Amino acid sequence: MIQRVGRCLAAAILAISAGVGLAADDPTSAAGRVNVLLVCVDDLKPAIGCYGDALAKTPNIDRLAARGVRFERAYCNQAVCSPSRNALLTGFRPQSLGIYDLATNFRRAAPTVRTLPQLFRDGGFHASALGKIFHVGHGNHDDEASWDEPLFRGKTVQYQLPENRGPSREEARFEGRSPEKLPRGSATESAMVDDEAYDDGRIAAEAVRRIRAAAATPGKPFFLAVGFLRPHLPFVAPKRYWDLHDPDALPRPETTRAPIGAPPYASSDWGELRQYKDAPDKGPVDEALARRLVHGYYAAASFMDAQVGKLLDALDDTGLAEDTIVVLWGDHGWHLGDHGLWCKHTNYEQATRIPLIVSAPGMRRGETTAALVESVDVLPTLLDLTGLPSVAGRDGQSFARSLADPSAPARDHCIQVYPRGKRLGRAIRTADLRLCEWREFGAAPDQAEIELYDMNHDPGETRNVATEREEDVARLRALLAQHPEPRPPLVGPAADRSPKRVSRGAAR
Ligand SMILES: [Ca+2]
């Protein structure tokens, strides 16, 4: 069977390379025989070994990249958890749903949409989820219709040290309770505990159990979604993962101020971090905390990476690696001190660029592609690869050709959004440039404020050159104008509120 699956996928790739969709070519070619393991990682930027970060300790993600295709230019659709996950799981961008906040469930905008896991259930797969897949908390809830069994839950805010335990503001928000009057929790924790003391360890153990059970009782193929919680705040991890890193050797941001010439509201006041007791109520973090946060982020990423390794080991041990597609996806990036920011919540490169690695039987292995892809593209790609029927009318497009041929043509631009008060920032990223157009919903284009960054000569986005590059601005705005006008927020205020309260206690 394994060899047959490999041949089927190899034939499928040839069909994709030739521009022939699997479903149209042979509706039964791979459907029902290849499994899907979708690994979603919360707040993971490409601070990963295989992405060129020599100080990261991520041997298992690197191992996955060695057996798959790594996307060098993958972007989220909005740099905050829930809208980004809606994009992955529905194939609709936030501006198509009109949902830019954490609380509004996507079914308010698309009550009958068949989600990515539902489409696999329709195709005969057993779909189940562990940890953080849809955004649960802040008033939002899981999508029970997407799964064959109840979600195996995980807690984002969780401590092991006695001095850190007890109710805290952020824990309450993730559980949909009022944070008022609760103390602030710790932003970091290094504890002498086993992996399974934290929920990422428990999630990995349960995922391994399910993989082994599937191998022992072949039947339906599986669509297994595993959502790891780290390196989202708080940066907690067993001590041995902290010990992998020398805090003095970890990178320091080169740019600690907002881009010259950018509108003030384009940045964030990083209100999420300020909900933790270590962070100041206002103003910058001090050197000691900056070092601790960078150390904590890298430690938490190493801890999560070790859990990814357990999944890969289980696939290898059972032989299922030969007929399982593995996708590793980060929901958005993170400003780890660059521009003086400690958050996601912007339209800049550090918040919007994501890790994306796809490994599948018969595909290219150990290669990198510069193809521009967005989170909404994962849904049509997985349908394409498994021979399931494609769905019309969504925002994504399959990048399966890039898996067969990393130099194949792909999108010429990606777009992201982020709201600030009444404004929406719509960003467009080409291979060379990033432009962001800020205007109120429904306002005329001539009311917009524009940012433009030359990503080849100024990859750190230190200087807005919009007024100096009128032709580039006109060209990119014309591309943006080809997209539908963004829907105004469906419910309530947008993810960030007024510029004076930028992101404070609002978006996570
Ligand atoms: Ca996130």
* pLDDT tens, residue by residue, 332-366: 999 999 999 999 999 999 999 999 999 999 999 99
| Residues 444-501 pLDDT 10s | 999 999 999 999 999 999 999 999 999 999 999 999 999 999 999 997 554 443 333 3
Contact yes or no for 212/314 (Cβ under 8 A)? yes
Centre of ligand 1 from the C-alpha of residue 173, in Å:
14
Within-domain flag for 374: no
Within-domain flag for 121: no
Evaluate if residue 279 carries a pLDDT over 80: yes
Give me the mean pLDDT over the 125-154 stretch: 97
Within-domain flag for 161: yes
CATH number, residue 102: 3.40.720.10
Percentage of the chain beyond pLDDT 90 is: 85
343 belongs to the catalytic site: no
Nearest to 306 by CA among 190, 195, 231, 224: 195
At 412 the pLDDT is: 97
Query: What tokens appear for 60 in the block?
Result: 């298992």
Nearest to 55 by CA among 336, 291, 249: 249
Query: What tokens appear for 192 in the block?
Result: 């002498």
At 492 the pLDDT is: 59
Contact yes or no for 233/292 (Cβ under 8 A)? no
Contact yes or no for 21/15 (Cβ under 8 A)? yes
345 belongs to the catalytic site: no
Within-domain flag for 398: no
Centre of ligand 1 from the C-alpha of residue 286, in Å:
25
Contact yes or no for 34/9 (Cβ under 8 A)? yes
Give me the mean pLDDT over the 131-150 stretch: 96
Reported confidence tier of residue 15, pLDDT bands at 50, 70, 90: low
Nearest to 80 by CA among 57, 100, 104: 100
Within-domain flag for 215: yes
Within-domain flag for 197: yes
Q: Exactly one of 40, 76, 126, 135 is catalytic; which is it?
A: 135
Within-domain flag for 324: yes
Q: At 273, which amino acid appears?
A: L
Centre of ligand 1 from the C-alpha of residue 504, in Å:
16
Structural domain count, the chain: 1
CA distance 205 to 223: 17
Query: CA 281, 286, 291: angle at the middle one, nearest 5?
Result: 120
Give me the mean pLDDT over the 262-268 stretch: 96
Query: Which run of H or E residues covers position 428?
Result: strand 423-429
Q: Exactly one of 81, 343, 414, 436 is catalytic; which is it?
A: 81
Query: What tokens appear for 239 in the block?
Result: 């001590």
List the domain range (segments joined by +) for residue 481: 44-69+76-115+136-348+412-501
Average pLDDT over the chain, rounded to an integer: 91
Reported confidence tier of residue 175, pLDDT bands at 50, 70, 90: confident
Within-domain flag for 181: yes
